[in-house]
Chain A
């Protein structure tokens, strides 16, 4: 046998990139397809809605006039430029949201193929085969960049199919893709800094949030956008001017910034050892605190950070919602079609309340997402092999499951309370009735728990009875989201609407409150949970 080590090692740092890229695509094909589908559904849905409610240039011009005078709305969307054109209005409405979503997709994908591989030790295995030193990061970057390119094309195709001009559609798609690529580069750097994938993702996501905040403040202070917005890469992507006046140089700026970050990541990468980070991991406690003495204490330890983040996020979002709710009602008050749609959403006659009902419904669905993820931890611990040493101690399966179920059922109350209180306070400040608004919005938020519990129960049933079919729970949640969001616009038949537990909830604030669903939905949740726990006690532990 001839020794060929020299040829396959240092002199060909990218050897094997193609094979690793195919592996990454194989591993991610479902996740990336779902991401793309999310963008397509979002863009098509909003385009259809805007077409229905603002069909004429005059409608849009009137809307634009009001939007320019509403800083709180501009903070959530972007600069009010070119809104009288159909494409401009759509780009304004979903542009920032799309860049944030593309950023999240890029961060998760890039970290999954870099730091996660390294943390789990799979990279050692890959690097022991004849692949070049730079092949794994190159494949990770290529798959993320490819996802953003596919996203750009899918968005553009969706907009063209919705009847918008092809040129503007392509520019819009490219802007979102370029924004996503920028945050892939951010994640490439954070993946070098931290040894834990969780920390790398958290830091990159924090920077994404900061970029959104900068442009929110900038856009709110000046309707055509200036100042701080120019410090935010999300602001750059929004200002590329799809459908209005294209600024090509901003694409150059985005790509140059991404390139600079990738260069930094490269320098950090080649200077460190596999498995290490630029920032050393902090040491932990030598002994467990006396409180860490039960499986529920462990559950609290595992869930508390996530729950605190959700609660803080809900408080910020609630404060923003309360600040804009009044203006949003004003903004659409002349448009009968929108009034009609919101009334169907909210079921009430008060436009502000109807808007709040629609938004709270979203918070309720997202809280159900938290609950489903919390229940999934039962299964995740089982799959990871961490449930086994716990269950080999004097810990029964019900108590082990309860350590997570406690957070799935009671946990969502915290973010929901936060959103109710925060919305109540800011909305109350604008309407001059803090005590009254806080009370009714807190009640409106807590009523949503009934819907959250049904999903927590469904997830528990899945873990106990059909652990390999857990994905169906997420599908059900997305289906309920679509039913709730598109149902009133598409005028779906009532039996489809009734499939979602959220359809049955009282439409608070403002709507009538009946006790029946508030008894029936928790009863369903309890029955599902009990069935799941019985299943979990009876079945084998299945690590896969």
Chain B
């Protein structure tokens, strides 16, 4: 089966600004593909080229076996799209917008529409002008999910949703995946992509910097550890292998203790915990790194072009 999406060396500039600088992206049919990158990385530009809204300056783009610019109308019958910033016609009700968009795509499943409205707790009678950002997002999501489309293109679809609706959204995407449909999910939230996607492409400054399964990207999955100690760790404490960016600072809450922070690879985690056990630990927090931290550490994306090593003592 051909790939649902295949971009090779895609280029696009807006005047002086280079938005895409040779982007490669492959989405296999039937997979949920995460498209991850910080704001302004070029995710939306790539999606707009895929939808035939923008014309690429160079490179190759294939969508569902066709040319996204030339065959736009025919291809759009087979996909559904949720923009990142949903703007609706203020005088139409949410229900009218859902029906209209679905009919323009070629029809909708009424039962599925009503079921989705219920799950997303959306009142379809309210006029779009009175909806909040999250509710406008739900309108676009219901219209897309109720469609019988082969491919769902979702551009940061959860930006305005609360955590409850976020989990409804995740359930819906899982159902879509089980039905064998393809999903391209653009996001800047690592945990969302981790929860939903089979494969991930990470984009920065218009270029794909990583692409693979989540297992392939395991090296990205460090743990951030912060330990509050009664006093400085002293010479006995030697950081085990796999610990990065170790820093020891005076406790920020003004107490007499110190705060030890570091990042640790998965294989080094057990060793670090053993080393910490010998110290007088008052509090310990661990969390996955944020996407911004990943980009700072791995892709040299800080504004001055240099990774910023934390001051170590």
Contacts and interface: CB of A to CB of B under 8 A. Distances in A.
A292 B99 contact: yes
Contact of B126 (A119, A284, A389, A538): A284
Given A281-B130, A288-B96, A385-B83, 11 more contacts: A196-B90, A198-B90, A284-B93, A286-B125, A287-B124, A288-B98, A293-B100, A294-B103, A302-B89, A393-B76, A539-B55
Contact of B129 (A119, A294, A389): A119
A388 B91 CA distance: 18
Nearest to B48: A541
Interface string B226-264: 000000000000000000000000000000000000000
Interface in B171-195: none
> What are the 7 tightest A-B residue pairs by CB atom distance, in nearest-first order?
A284-B93, A288-B99, A393-B104, A392-B81, A385-B87, A288-B96, A541-B53
Given A388-B53, A392-B51, A195 B99 contact: no
Interface string A268-285: 000000000000011111
Interface in A356-414: 384-386, 388-396
A285 B125 contact: yes
A298 B76 contact: no
DSSP majority for the A interface?
A: loop
Given A283-B126, A285-B93, A292-B100, A388 B73 contact: no
Interface of B: 48, 51-55, 72-74, 76-77, 79, 81, 83, 85-101, 103-106, 124-127, 129-130, 140, 153
16 contacts: A119-B129, A195-B129, A284-B92, A284-B95, A293-B100, A301-B89, A302-B89, A386-B87, A386-B89, A391-B76, A392-B53, A392-B79, A392-B81, A394-B73, A394-B106, A540-B54
Contacts of B125: 283-286
A295 interface: yes
A396 B99 contact: no
Given A281-B127, A284-B127, A285-B93, A391 B52 contact: yes
A389 B101 contact: yes
Given A393-B104, A541-B53, A388 B83 contact: yes
A108 to B, nearest CB: 18
B93 A391 contact: no
Contact of B73 (A195, A396, A540): A396
Contacts of B77: 394
Nearest to A398: B73
A389 B81 contact: yes
Given A287-B99, A295-B104, A389-B83, A196 B129 contact: yes
Contacts of B126: 281, 283-284
B53 A294 contact: no
B95 to A, nearest CB: 5
- Tier of interface size on chain A: 35 or more
Interface string A301-317: 11000000000000000
* B55, B88, B130 interface centre (most CB from chain A within 10 Å): B130
A493 to B, nearest CB: 42
Contacts of B153: 392
Contacts of B79: 392
* A284, A386, A540 interface centre (most CB from chain B within 10 Å): A284
Nearest to A275: B130
A11 B89 CA distance: 39
A387 to B, nearest CB: 9
Contact of A195 (B55, B106, B130): B130
A330 to B, nearest CB: 47
A295 B104 CA distance: 7
A76 to B, nearest CB: 34
Interface in A514-544: 538-541
Contacts of B96: 284-285, 287-288, 292
Nearest to A540: B54
Contacts of B91: 198, 284, 301-302
Given A287-B124, A391-B52, A386 B129 contact: no
Given A283-B93, A396-B72, A391 B51 contact: yes
A383 to B, nearest CB: 10
Nearest to A195: B130
A293 B125 CA distance: 18
A287 B130 CA distance: 17
A295 B103 CA distance: 10
Given A292-B100, A541-B48, A286 B53 contact: no
A385 B85 CA distance: 8
B92 A301 contact: yes
Nearest to B128: A284
A394 B105 contact: yes
Contacts of B52: 391
Nearest to B143: A389
B129 A392 contact: no
B166 to A, nearest CB: 21
Given A389-B81, A393-B101, A394-B106, A286 B51 contact: no
A204 B21 CA distance: 52
B73 A395 contact: yes
Given A284-B126, A384-B87, A394 B54 contact: no
Given A286-B124, A386-B87, A393-B105, A281 B95 contact: no
A283 B104 CA distance: 24
Nearest to A393: B104
B110 to A, nearest CB: 8
Interface in A74-122: 119
Contacts of A386: 87-89
